[in-house]
Structure 1
Amino acid sequence: MSVIDDDEPVRNALVMALQAFGYTTATYVDADDFLARGREGCGVVVSDVRMPGTNGIELTRILRTEDGNTPVILLTGHADAALLAEAMSAGADALLSKPVALKDMMAEITRTAAFYGLSS
């Protein structure tokens, strides 16, 4: 599981929640950090949409262009119909609004991981 968010408290909270559910996590301060550090075995990518540099939508497009098999769940504090359409068009598996209920996030991660044949 890869967690990408430029907001450190949000990133840390996501990691703690995921680890509590048994997921192994790697963290990245932004999409550029994720892209620079290599992504072998990155699992489900949980990324903020709005970050400095490459944003979550652009990251999704890059991942879809490179291999098409990296699951991506995007998080945003500013969801609307246009952003949802853009995220889905880019190839995101889901767009969740912050603050996201833990049970909703875990259900989406579980569904997405199962679809791609991944485990924790």
Structure 2
Amino acid sequence: MPHATDPQPCIAVVDDDDGLRESLAWLLDSVGLATRAYADGDAFLAAPADSHAVVLLDVRMPGLSGLQVQQRLNERGDGAPVIFMTGHGDVPMAVAALKAGAFDFIEKPFNHQQLIDTVQQALAEHQQSREAQSRLEVLHDRYIALRPKERQILVHVAEGMTSREIAAHLGVSTKTVEVYRLRAMKALGAANLAELVRLCVALGLVEALPGGD
């Protein structure tokens, strides 16, 4: 049973076909995945944000189409992976959906194992994305907690300036630059200069070098 602070991921099933919704709910439930079904895009979009870990979305529905629902999700910054369910002849629409950021698309009638595998892969990616976002938020909080001078020195170090150049630029001693740099590295959890630069890139303080990670 999931821990109270770690709720079971919920899969949204958005399709106007009652039978298909029930079939998918049964299939996903059979492998231990919770589902929540919606008959149209408006009902799904009215649900609380971040309440779904993965979205199974039909391309063709009355009212809002699957592509329109995807656009709304993108506009509000919803990061849940979207898997489109497509009928015969909908491949061009599915390709457009992929270009707009969809995780994948599956053609009806479904291969059950393929659908389960795709949902599991999307869940894993979503979890990794959430963990990365959480790490970035912690890193940002640590950066904000630094003294203004430490933040300045941090950026200059990441830009490639030497301690002597930073000292001359800020009007402080080289020793002060070194002390502040080491203190900032410790606060951010950077073990060396290369790691410090990567963290500064992740925070958006400096741009990554062309061809860099």
TM over 0.5: yes
Q: Mind listing any 5+ residue stretches in structure 2 that lack a counterpart?
A: 1-10, 129-213
The residue that corresponds to 1:54 in the other structure is: 64
Larger Rg: 2
- Which residue pairs with 2:186 in the alignment? none
Q: Distance in 2 between matches of 1:65 and 1:94?
A: 19
CA contact (8 A) 1:3 1:47 kept: yes
Q: Distance in 1 between matches of 2:46 and 2:77?
A: 16
Unmatched segments (≥5 aa) in structure 1:
none
Partner of residue 14, structure 1: 24
How far apart in 1 are the matches of 2:99 and 2:121? 20
Identify which of structures 1 and 2 has the higher relative contact order when contacts are C-alpha pairs closer than 8 Å and 6+ apart: 1
CA contact (8 A) 1:45 1:73 kept: yes
- Aligned equivalents of 1:114, 1:93: Cα separation in 2: 12
* Matched-pair identity in %: 33
Separation (CA, whole Å) in 1 of partners of 2:97 and 2:20: 20
For residue 74 of structure 1, report the CA deviation from its aligned partner: 0.6
> What one-letter code is carried by the residue in structure 1 that aligns with 2:36?
A
**Cross-structure match for 1:66:** 76
The one-letter code sitting in structure 2 at the alignment partner of 1:91 is G
Select 1:85's aligned residue among 77, 82, 95. Answer: 95
Aligned length, in residue pairs? 118
Paired residue secondary structure (1:60): helix
- SS where residue 117 of structure 1 aligns? helix
**TM-score of the pair, normalised by structure 1:** 0.90
**Structure 2: distance between partners of 1:40 and 1:114:** 16
Indicate the structure with greater helix content.
2
Q: CA deviation at 1:80?
A: 4.8
Aligned CA-pair RMSD: 1.5
TM-score (norm 2): 0.52
